[in-house]
Homo-oligomer: A and B are copies of this chain.
Amino acid sequence: MAGKRVTIRDVARAAGVSYQTVSRAFNDKGEINGDTKRRVMESARELGYRPSRFARGLVRQDTTSIGLVIPDLLNPFFTEVAAAALDAARQRGWHVLLYDTADDRELELDALGVIGSQVDAVVGYFYEPVEIIEKVVHGMPTVYIGRDRAGATFTSIHIDGGPGIRAAVAHLVADGRHRIGMLDHGGNRPPSSRRRWFLDAMREHGLTGVAVGADQSIDGGARAMASMLEAHPDLDGLLTYNDVIAIGAIRRAVQLGRRVPQDCAVIGFDGLSLGEIVEPQLTSIRIDTRQLGALAIEQVAKLLAGEPAGLATVTPALHVRGSA
């Protein structure tokens, strides 16, 4: 039953033709008699024959497929990026293998390992440093999302939050706010670039920013906000590493009796459409995720064509809604 795979020759034998004729029938190529074709398709269906994707791909090397590696599909930011990349890939007729590494370094490397023999290129948002990644992909074309720099051997897409964060701080300061904090990403990861941009921007206004880490989830944002408000009860402005954290922070702030934005303005980062359905609507530094996804695919295309692609940059901009 689970015996041998049924091959094109089995079908040929059953239909009383040569295997080439079967091939013709399946690819409705060239000249083949209508009756013969029907007969072939008939016995093919009876035997449950389906052409091997490997054998087929081996000879006509047209289809390209890429691996998309993200840390967490349920994080709306990555959902949007994935959707955009999927769309861009489809327009080129590419296939996309999606891997969700569940924020796990181990799984990230695993995914890259198994991916290697399945795709022509990889694009992803990785946690591991480039050197480690490169070791495991064995020279496969790779595009890194969210890396500040590119190297001789790798291509990346830089998210330059500097201008947006500067605009956000300026927006708060212009509103008369001076006690501004930030909820950075947390865990044991090093401080993000976004935190640096924030601190720099504060300094430009002669202010001192205070930053703490938060898990990248609503609860994480809520918890971090609680300790932030405990340490700085007079906080009147907040930036966050991303929108999800911001939403958690707002909720906790409200629970603790703050009015948002009156008592404490909150500005997220990502500009997810999710920010529209919360109350107040979330002001955020908005990344054009469609552009980001399209750019990623474009870079892959360049790499696949042999031209080194280097560094591409997206520059998110402040998008004022209700929370600041």
Contacts and interface: CB of A to CB of B under 8 A. Distances in A.
Interface of A: 1-2, 5, 45, 48-58, 61, 63, 65, 73-74, 76, 79-80, 82-83, 86-87, 90, 93, 95-100, 102, 107, 111, 114-120, 138-140, 218, 247, 251, 273-274, 276-279, 305-306
B138 A65 contact: no
12 contacts: A5-B61, A51-B117, A55-B58, A56-B117, A63-B117, A74-B80, A87-B102, A90-B99, A90-B107, A93-B114, A96-B98, A274-B277
Contacts of A118: 53, 63, 65, 95
Contact of A73 (B45, B86, B102): B86
The 3 A-B pairs at the shortest CB distance, nearest first, are namely A54-B57, A54-B58, A73-B83
Contacts of A82: 73, 98
A61 B7 CA distance: 13
A263 B160 CA distance: 47
A306 B2 contact: yes
Nearest to A102: B87
Contact of A97 (B52, B97, B100, B306): B97
Contacts of A279: 278-279
Contacts of A53: 54, 57, 117-120
Copies of this chain held together in the complex = 2
Given A53-B118, A58-B55, A82-B73, A97 B65 contact: yes
A97 B100 CA distance: 12
B96 A50 contact: no
A58 B54 CA distance: 5
Nearest to A116: B50
A51, A97, A115, A119, most chain B CB atoms within 10 A: A97
B97 A95 contact: yes
A136 to B, nearest CB: 13
A50 B98 contact: no
Contacts of A79: 73-74, 76, 79
A140 to B, nearest CB: 6
A16 to B, nearest CB: 21
A274 B273 CA distance: 12
Nearest to A248: B277
Given A65-B118, A83-B100, A90-B99, 12 more contacts: A1-B306, A2-B306, A53-B118, A65-B97, A73-B83, A74-B80, A87-B102, A90-B100, A95-B118, A277-B278, A278-B278, A278-B279
